[in-house]
Amino acid sequence: MVGQWLPEALNINDRFLQGLVAGLGSCYADDRIIGHHTWNYLLAWRDFIPARPPLQPRTQGRIYLEQGGILIDRREQTELYLALNKGGVFKLFRDNKLVASDTQFSLLVQDGNKRKNAVGHLVDNYQIKLESDQIAIAGNLGWAKQKQMNPLNLIILRLVMLSLGRFFPNLIRRSLQKILITGKQTTPFQFSRRLAWHDGHWRIEDRLTAKSWDNVIAVDLGCDRTSIYVVMSRTFQPGQLQPAWDLSAQLANLNPGESLNLTRNF
């Protein structure tokens, strides 16, 4: 619809269509939310504009969408998509093929009788430094949301919506978002991530620091970690078949205050 007055927008639409033809779209069927997308695709078909401008090449160089916290860097057949507001999680492509998908550090921590997850991909205002060939992000891991909508909680929610919720629906929605989605509770674990372009490839240096590693049971770098209750963040993509990088064995060699250091070249 935007393409009616901004023809350049149709290039974005066409690239999305190319992805669907190539089988790169997300799979919604296992979450039983296919209905949300059925009517959306039908409306897109109804409003399709047959007269479309030629497909233009993607812009090379760097695009920084500051308000969205997203940085795109294209150079020498590589494309880096980086979420600066999510601790530097990224997807890296070379020659239009996925090379790496990284959702930052994930820790399994023993907290008394409970086990909790400390993760690096929650939205926050991280320390960011951007240079022409370097990108640096630093901050603290956050505790993953533990609350889930089990049958009892859903029954209670229904009762609330039939009573108070009928008159204050926005208040209920904001409350649920705060419990299940938004907000970050900081952990004592600190991270830094540095991405540097060097001799035609990306060099990524990660550091994870803790005053004590005693309660940390496991640590890894996964490709598909998500720690908030948003259905659309749990759809399946083929890139999720990449194995996680288990770093737990390195914990035994760390003393209090020492950092876990990693260097990768893509």
Of 56-70, 169-183, 226-240, the poorest mean pLDDT is in: 226-240
Rounded to whole angstroms, the Cα distance separating 27 from 238 reads: 9
DSSP track, 201-238: EEEEEEEEE-S--TTEEEEEE-SS---S--GGGG-B-G
Higher pLDDT, 136 or 96: 136
- Asked whether the beta carbons of 154 and 160 are under 8 A apart, the reply is no
Give tens-digit pLDDT for 3-60: 989 988 999 999 999 988 988 887 777 666 777 788 888 999 999 999 899 998 888 9
- Residue 173 is predicted with a pLDDT of 84
Buried residues in 142-171 as b, exposed as e (16+ CB within 10 A): bbbbeeeeeeeeeeeeeeeeeeebeeeeee
Rounded to whole angstroms, the Cα distance separating 6 from 49 reads 12
Contacts of 16 (CB under 8 A, 6+ apart): none
The mean per-residue pLDDT over the stretch 112-135 comes to 94
Helices (H), strands (E): how many in the chain? 4, 14
Task: Give the pLDDT band (50/70/90) at residue 231.
Answer: low
What pTM, to 2 d.p., does this model score? 0.86
